[in-house]
Protein backbone atom coordinates (compact mmCIF):
# COMPACT_ATOMS: atom_id res chain seq x y z
CA UNK A 1 0.00 0.00 0.00
CA UNK A 2 1.33 3.45 -0.94
CA UNK A 3 1.85 5.77 2.03
CA UNK A 4 3.71 8.59 0.29
CA UNK A 5 4.35 9.90 -3.22
CA UNK A 6 7.64 11.45 -4.29
CA UNK A 7 7.47 13.72 -7.35
CA UNK A 8 10.03 14.96 -9.83
CA UNK A 9 9.33 18.44 -11.27
CA UNK A 10 10.65 18.88 -14.83
CA UNK A 11 8.70 16.70 -17.22
CA UNK A 12 6.47 15.42 -14.42
CA UNK A 13 4.52 18.22 -12.73
CA UNK A 14 5.87 20.99 -14.93
CA UNK A 15 6.71 21.40 -18.61
CA UNK A 16 10.46 21.16 -19.19
CA UNK A 17 10.12 24.17 -21.49
CA UNK A 18 9.21 26.42 -18.56
CA UNK A 19 12.49 25.60 -16.84
CA UNK A 20 14.72 25.61 -19.93
CA UNK A 21 13.06 28.39 -21.92
CA UNK A 22 12.01 30.73 -19.11
CA UNK A 23 13.85 30.12 -15.84
CA UNK A 24 17.31 29.30 -17.22
CA UNK A 25 17.47 32.29 -19.59
CA UNK A 26 16.24 34.61 -16.83
CA UNK A 27 18.98 33.41 -14.47
CA UNK A 28 21.61 33.69 -17.18
CA UNK A 29 20.55 37.25 -18.07
CA UNK A 30 20.69 38.48 -14.46
CA UNK A 31 23.60 36.37 -13.21
CA UNK A 32 26.46 38.88 -13.61
CA UNK A 33 24.60 41.76 -11.96
CA UNK A 34 23.30 39.53 -9.18
CA UNK A 35 26.67 38.02 -8.24
CA UNK A 36 28.47 41.35 -8.65
CA UNK A 37 25.92 43.24 -6.58
CA UNK A 38 25.73 40.73 -3.73
CA UNK A 39 29.41 40.30 -2.86
CA UNK A 40 28.71 41.11 0.79
CA UNK A 41 25.98 38.48 1.04
CA UNK A 42 27.38 35.45 2.95
CA UNK A 43 25.05 33.02 1.14
CA UNK A 44 26.18 34.26 -2.27
CA UNK A 45 29.83 34.27 -1.22
CA UNK A 46 29.57 30.67 -0.04
CA UNK A 47 28.21 29.65 -3.45
CA UNK A 48 30.98 31.59 -5.21
CA UNK A 49 33.66 29.85 -3.15
CA UNK A 50 32.12 26.46 -3.90
CA UNK A 51 32.24 27.19 -7.64
CA UNK A 52 35.85 28.36 -7.40
CA UNK A 53 36.80 25.25 -5.43
CA UNK A 54 35.19 22.97 -8.02
CA UNK A 55 36.98 24.63 -10.94
CA UNK A 56 40.30 24.62 -9.10
CA UNK A 57 39.88 20.93 -8.32
CA UNK A 58 38.76 19.95 -11.83
CA UNK A 59 40.84 22.32 -13.96
CA UNK A 60 43.56 23.63 -11.67
CA UNK A 61 42.77 27.30 -12.27
CA UNK A 62 41.58 30.17 -10.11
CA UNK A 63 38.55 32.17 -11.24
CA UNK A 64 38.38 35.96 -11.18
CA UNK A 65 34.92 37.55 -11.24
CA UNK A 66 34.66 37.63 -15.03
CA UNK A 67 35.70 33.98 -15.40
CA UNK A 68 33.38 33.02 -12.55
CA UNK A 69 30.39 34.47 -14.38
CA UNK A 70 31.42 32.84 -17.66
CA UNK A 71 31.76 29.49 -15.88
CA UNK A 72 28.34 29.79 -14.29
CA UNK A 73 26.81 30.78 -17.63
CA UNK A 74 28.33 27.71 -19.28
CA UNK A 75 27.00 25.55 -16.46
CA UNK A 76 23.52 26.98 -17.02
CA UNK A 77 23.79 26.25 -20.74
CA UNK A 78 24.79 22.63 -20.04
CA UNK A 79 22.34 22.27 -17.12
CA UNK A 80 25.09 21.18 -14.77
CA UNK A 81 23.68 19.86 -11.50
CA UNK A 82 26.06 21.78 -9.23
CA UNK A 83 24.56 22.67 -5.82
CA UNK A 84 26.07 26.19 -5.80
CA UNK A 85 24.67 26.99 -9.23
CA UNK A 86 21.25 25.68 -8.23
CA UNK A 87 21.36 27.83 -5.10
CA UNK A 88 22.28 30.96 -7.05
CA UNK A 89 19.62 30.29 -9.65
CA UNK A 90 17.02 29.97 -6.91
CA UNK A 91 17.95 33.35 -5.45
CA UNK A 92 17.74 35.01 -8.87
CA UNK A 93 14.42 33.33 -9.66
CA UNK A 94 12.97 34.64 -6.39
CA UNK A 95 13.27 38.17 -7.76
CA UNK A 96 11.67 37.10 -11.02
CA UNK A 97 8.67 35.62 -9.25
CA UNK A 98 8.41 38.65 -6.97
CA UNK A 99 8.52 41.00 -9.98
CA UNK A 100 5.92 38.84 -11.77
CA UNK A 101 8.29 38.30 -14.67
CA UNK A 102 6.76 34.83 -15.09
CA UNK A 103 4.37 32.31 -13.50
CA UNK A 104 5.31 28.66 -13.03
CA UNK A 105 3.75 26.11 -15.35
CA UNK A 106 1.78 23.24 -13.82
CA UNK A 107 0.14 20.52 -15.90
CA UNK A 108 -3.62 20.74 -15.38
CA UNK A 109 -3.92 17.09 -14.31
CA UNK A 110 -1.52 17.55 -11.38
CA UNK A 111 -3.40 19.59 -8.79
CA UNK A 112 -6.70 17.62 -8.65
CA UNK A 113 -4.85 14.34 -8.12
CA UNK A 114 -2.50 15.75 -5.47
CA UNK A 115 -5.60 16.98 -3.62
CA UNK A 116 -7.07 13.47 -3.79
CA UNK A 117 -3.86 11.96 -2.44
CA UNK A 118 -3.72 14.40 0.45
CA UNK A 119 -7.40 13.79 1.27
CA UNK A 120 -6.60 10.07 1.36
CA UNK A 121 -3.85 10.75 3.90
CA UNK A 122 -0.81 10.31 1.65
CA UNK A 123 2.30 12.43 2.00
CA UNK A 124 3.29 14.22 -1.21
CA UNK A 125 6.95 15.24 -1.42
CA UNK A 126 9.16 16.79 -4.09
CA UNK A 127 12.64 15.65 -5.21
CA UNK A 128 14.41 17.84 -7.75
CA UNK A 129 17.92 18.93 -8.68
CA UNK A 130 16.76 22.51 -8.16
CA UNK A 131 17.35 23.85 -4.66
CA UNK A 132 14.62 23.49 -2.03
CA UNK A 133 14.01 27.29 -2.00
CA UNK A 134 13.64 27.23 -5.79
CA UNK A 135 11.18 24.33 -5.54
CA UNK A 136 9.08 26.20 -2.99
CA UNK A 137 9.06 29.33 -5.16
CA UNK A 138 7.84 27.37 -8.17
CA UNK A 139 4.95 25.79 -6.29
CA UNK A 140 4.07 29.09 -4.61
CA UNK A 141 3.66 30.79 -8.00
CA UNK A 142 1.97 28.27 -10.30
CA UNK A 143 -0.73 28.96 -12.87
CA UNK A 144 -3.09 27.30 -10.36
CA UNK A 145 -1.91 29.51 -7.49
CA UNK A 146 0.05 28.62 -4.36
CA UNK A 147 -0.12 24.85 -3.81
CA UNK A 148 2.62 24.54 -1.19
CA UNK A 149 0.11 23.71 1.55
CA UNK A 150 -0.44 20.37 -0.22
CA UNK A 151 3.25 19.44 -0.23
CA UNK A 152 4.73 17.83 2.85
CA UNK A 153 8.48 17.81 2.13
CA UNK A 154 11.11 18.94 -0.36
CA UNK A 155 14.43 17.30 -1.26
CA UNK A 156 17.28 18.52 -3.45
CA UNK A 157 20.86 17.44 -4.19
CA UNK A 158 21.77 17.85 -0.51
CA UNK A 159 20.08 14.47 0.05
CA UNK A 160 22.10 12.95 -2.82
CA UNK A 161 22.25 12.48 -6.57
CA UNK A 162 18.99 11.50 -8.24
CA UNK A 163 20.63 8.49 -9.90
CA UNK A 164 21.98 7.11 -6.62
CA UNK A 165 19.79 4.52 -4.82
CA UNK A 166 21.05 5.72 -1.44
CA UNK A 167 19.31 9.08 -2.04
CA UNK A 168 15.93 7.36 -2.18
CA UNK A 169 16.72 5.29 0.90
CA UNK A 170 17.53 8.52 2.75
CA UNK A 171 14.30 10.15 1.57
CA UNK A 172 12.23 7.17 2.70
CA UNK A 173 13.88 7.45 6.10
CA UNK A 174 13.21 11.21 6.25
CA UNK A 175 9.55 10.62 5.40
CA UNK A 176 9.38 7.75 7.91
CA UNK A 177 7.98 5.45 5.22
CA UNK A 178 9.26 1.99 4.33
CA UNK A 179 10.66 2.04 0.78
CA UNK A 180 8.02 -0.37 -0.70
CA UNK A 181 5.29 2.05 0.46
CA UNK A 182 6.88 5.05 -1.30
CA UNK A 183 6.03 5.75 -4.96
CA UNK A 184 8.44 7.80 -7.08
CA UNK A 185 7.13 9.45 -10.25
CA UNK A 186 9.56 10.87 -12.81
CA UNK A 187 10.06 11.13 -16.55
CA UNK A 188 13.73 10.08 -16.30
CA UNK A 189 14.39 6.35 -16.54
CA UNK A 190 17.79 6.46 -14.80
CA UNK A 191 16.23 8.13 -11.76
CA UNK A 192 13.48 5.53 -11.67
CA UNK A 193 16.08 2.77 -11.96
CA UNK A 194 17.86 4.09 -8.86
CA UNK A 195 14.60 4.38 -6.94
CA UNK A 196 13.66 0.82 -7.85
CA UNK A 197 17.02 -0.48 -6.63
CA UNK A 198 16.28 1.29 -3.34
CA UNK A 199 13.01 -0.63 -3.10
CA UNK A 200 10.58 2.14 -4.08
CA UNK A 201 7.62 1.66 -6.38
CA UNK A 202 8.02 3.60 -9.62
CA UNK A 203 5.98 5.16 -12.42
CA UNK A 204 7.37 6.87 -15.49
CA UNK A 205 5.51 10.03 -16.53
CA UNK A 206 5.24 10.33 -20.31
CA UNK A 207 4.74 13.98 -21.19
CA UNK A 208 5.10 15.37 -24.76
CA UNK A 209 8.65 14.69 -25.91
CA UNK A 210 9.26 11.83 -23.44
CA UNK A 211 9.55 8.22 -24.54
CA UNK A 212 8.76 5.24 -22.34
CA UNK A 213 11.89 3.28 -21.48
CA UNK A 214 9.90 0.08 -20.99
CA UNK A 215 11.41 -0.70 -17.60
CA UNK A 216 8.74 0.96 -15.42
CA UNK A 217 4.96 1.33 -15.55
CA UNK A 218 4.24 4.42 -17.63
CA UNK A 219 1.32 6.87 -17.64
CA UNK A 220 0.42 9.99 -19.63
CA UNK A 221 -1.30 11.95 -16.83
CA UNK A 222 -1.57 11.94 -13.06
CA UNK A 223 -5.14 10.67 -13.45
CA UNK A 224 -3.75 7.44 -14.89
CA UNK A 225 -1.59 6.62 -11.84
CA UNK A 226 -4.49 5.15 -9.93
CA UNK A 227 -3.18 4.64 -6.41
CA UNK A 228 -5.43 2.18 -4.61
CA UNK A 229 -6.17 2.70 -0.92
- Name the residue ranges covered by the structural domains of the chain: 4-15+103-224, 19-98
Q: How far is CA 143 from CA 26, 102, 138, in A?
A: 18, 10, 10
The CATH homologous superfamily for domain 4-15+103-224 is HAD superfamily/HAD-like (3.40.50.1000)
Beta-carbon neighbour count of residue 165 at 10 Å? 18
Contacts of 141 (CB under 8 A, 6+ apart): 97, 103, 104
**Given its phi and psi angles, is residue 146 left (phi above 0), alpha (psi -120 to 50 degrees) or beta?**
beta
Residue 225: the pLDDT is 96
Output phi, psi for 25, to 5 deg: -60, -35
Residue 39: the pLDDT is 84
CATH number of 19-98: 1.10.720
Q: Which of 109, 114, 87, 102 is nearest to 142 (CA)?
A: 102
Provide the residue-wise pLDDT of the chain in tens; the chain has 229 residues: 999 999 999 999 999 999 999 999 999 999 999 999 998 899 999 999 999 999 999 999 999 989 999 999 999 999 898 999 999 999 999 999 999 999 999 999 999 999 999 999 999 999 999 889 999 999 999 999 999 999 999 999 999 999 999 999 999 999 999 999 999 999 999 999 999 999 999 999 999 999 999 999 999 999 999 986 5
Residue 176: the pLDDT is 98
Residue 227: the pLDDT is 84
Residue 116: the pLDDT is 96
DSSP at 222: G
Amino acid sequence: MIRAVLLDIEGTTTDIAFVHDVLFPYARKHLADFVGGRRDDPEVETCVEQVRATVESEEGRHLDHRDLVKTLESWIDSDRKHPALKQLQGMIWEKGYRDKAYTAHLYEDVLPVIKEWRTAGLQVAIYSSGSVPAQRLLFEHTLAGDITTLLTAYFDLDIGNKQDPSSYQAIAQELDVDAPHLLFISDVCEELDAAAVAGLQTVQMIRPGTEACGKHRSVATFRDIGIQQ
